[in-house]
Structure 1
Amino acid sequence: MSIAHNKEGAMIRCSDGTTYHGDILVGADGANSGVRQSLYKLMQSNGQLPDSDAKGLNKCNICLVGTTDPLDPEKYPGIGGPSALLYQMIGEGTSYTWSSMTVPNNQICWNAVMQLGSDESEDEKFRNSEWGPESNEAMIKEVRDFRVPTGTLGDLIDATPKDGISRVFLEDKLFETWNNGRVVLIGDACHKLLPSSGQGAVNAMQDAVILANCIYELRSVAEGDVAEALRDFKEQRYPHVKDQYKASQLTAKLLYGQTFFERLVRNVVLNYLPKSVQLKSMSKDLAYRPQASFLPQAPKRGTCYVVPQRPSKRYQEERELSKHL
C-alpha cells in the first residue's frame, strides 16, 4: 500500500493495485495503520518526521483472553443473573493478574495479563511471528491453576473453544504527527491507548466527530484550506487524548502493576483515596462530550458540568438563511 498527496488531491494505492482519489485521506485503519506507515515514510524521506514517531508501539503487557461456551448455572454460580459480575485478581509472587466477567447467554469472559519488563517486551520469544493457537499452550499452562470465584482459570479455558482464545500484546503510543497536507489519522492510528480505562474506542469516536466538524467548516478543498482544517482537528483533540493516554497508563498500573511502588499506589487509591476525589476525576472525563456541530445539539442531562461545544459558524449562517426562505 502507498499514498500520495499534493495540491490537486490525495491518492491511495491498495495492495491489490486499485487506486482511489479524493480531497482528503483519512487513516482510520487501526494501531498498525498502513496509512500512517506510508505517510511517515514520506515525511521521513523529507526530514519532516519527529524521531519519536519513527519508533513503534510500546509493548506493555501480554494478554491471554477468551469467552467460554454457554455454561451450566448450577456449576457456575452467578451466571445468568440480571447484572454482570466482574472479578479482578492480582497475583502474589507472579507477574500475572487475571479477571473473569459474566456476560449474557450464560457465558464468562476471562483474561490473564502478564506484566512485561522493558527487556522482556523485546525478547524473541514474545514476537508476534511465533504466535498462534498452538503457541498459547505455554501461557495456558502457567495460568490454568489460578483461582477464580467459579473454580480455576483452567476450568474457564477448557470451556472455551481453542480458536476463540487470543494472545495479544497490550500496546500504547501517542504519536505526535496526526496530519500532513491532505492526510489525517484518527483513532488507534494516531493514539493507541491501553484498554485498562476503556477509552480507546471512545476517543476514536470523538476523533470522528471533531474531524467531521472541521470538514464541515471547510470553505473550499484547496490544499491550504484542507491542511488548516486538519491542523485544527489535532489542536482540538490532542490535549484531551493526552490526558486519557496518561489515565490509561495509570489505570493499567492499578490493575496489573506488580512492583512495590505500583502495589503501594494501588493500596492507597483503592482504600484511602476519598470518593470525592474519585468523583471529581470521573466528572472531568464525562464533561467532554463533543457533538456534531452541523446537527441540533442534544440537551444536557444530569448534574455534571459539560464542556461548552465550539459553535459552528456555518451552521448558524445556514440556520439564519433558512429563516428568510
Structure 2
Amino acid sequence: MTSKTRIGIGIVGTGMAAKPHALALGDLADRVEVRGAYARSAERRNAFAATYGFPVAESAEELAADPNVDALLLITPPNARRELVSLFANAGKHVLCEKPLERTTESAQAIVRTCGDAGVKLGVVFQHRFRAASQKLAAMLSSGDLGAIRVVRADVPWWRDQTYYDESGRGTYARDGGGVLISQAIHTLDLMLSLTGPVASVQALCATTPFHRMEAEDFAAGAMMFENGAVGVLHASTASFPGDAESLTFECDHASVLVKSGVLTLRWRDGRTESHGEEAGTGGGADPMAFPYEWHKSLIADFADAIADDRPPRVTGADALHVHRLITALETSSREGRRVDLSGAQT
C-alpha cells in the first residue's frame, strides 16, 4: 500500500459474485470504509449487510449523493450497469466494475466514455492478473528471460450443471451478453492478452451442447493469430464434467510455460524445471465460488491506492475493451463462418 488515506466505497449488487469482495473489504477495513450496500431486493441487501457488518443503503441515489463515498463497487448483472455508472460518475465517484463491463463491446465503450468524460477512474475486476503466478510470469516475459512467445493455448474446461442456468436471465444475451466466453472464459482471455498483447485475427466455432438448456453458447473453440506473430488456440466450455482449472500454456523461445490453479510451471529447454505460486481453487467445477478472495483483496487495494495517489488502476476500463473486442470477434467468426480481422480494433 502506497497511501494511508481511507477510501469511502458504496456497493451496488449483492449477488453470488459479491462474497469475495465483501471478504476482501473486511480485511481492508483500515483502508476502505464501506458506506453502504444496496440491492433492489430489501431482503437481499439486509441479509448481505448483516452477514458482513456493512451499513444498508436504501437506494443507489443515496450512495451517489453521499459526500463520503469516493467510489462505487458495481457487482450487478451486466444489463444493469450503464445507468448506474452514469449516476455515480456524474456525481464524481470513481467506479470499480465487475467483469464484463457490459453485454456488448459498444456498451462497454460507452461506459469507458462516460467515466472519461466525467474525469473519474474506471477499474475492472480481472483479479487473475493479481495472482502471484501471473505477476511472476509477466515480470519474466518483460525481462526477456523467456524469449518471445511463439504458441499459446488457452483452456477453460469448466462445468456448470443445469441449475446454474435455471436462474432467470443467466446465459442469455439480454442479461449476461452471452455464455461461456463473456461469463467464464473472459478472465483467462484477459490474462492472456495482458501477457501476449493483441490478437490480430480469429476463426472460431461457438455452440450450445445438449448438456444445457440456455440461449447462449456453453462451448467455444477458436484459432488465434497474434499481432506479435504468435499463433494460438482456445477451448472454453461449461460442459466439461466435473470441471477442471483453467490454464494458459505458452511455448516460448527458452521454455514451455504453464499457468494453472495459481501455479506457474516452467520447463526450460536446458532441462530445468521450476515452479512459482501456490495451488488454489478457481471455480471451475460445480461451485462457481470455490476460489480464494486474496486476489480480489489485492485488486481492491490497488484501486484504493489509485484513487489516493491519483493514478490509473492496474486494470482500467480501456484495458478491458481488448478482451471485449476479442470475444465479439470470436462470436462474429462463429456466426458468420469466416475469419475475423481485429487489426486496428485495439485502439
**TM-score, with normalisation over the residues of structure 1?**
0.24
Structure possessing the higher radius of gyration over alpha carbons = 1
More helix by share: 1
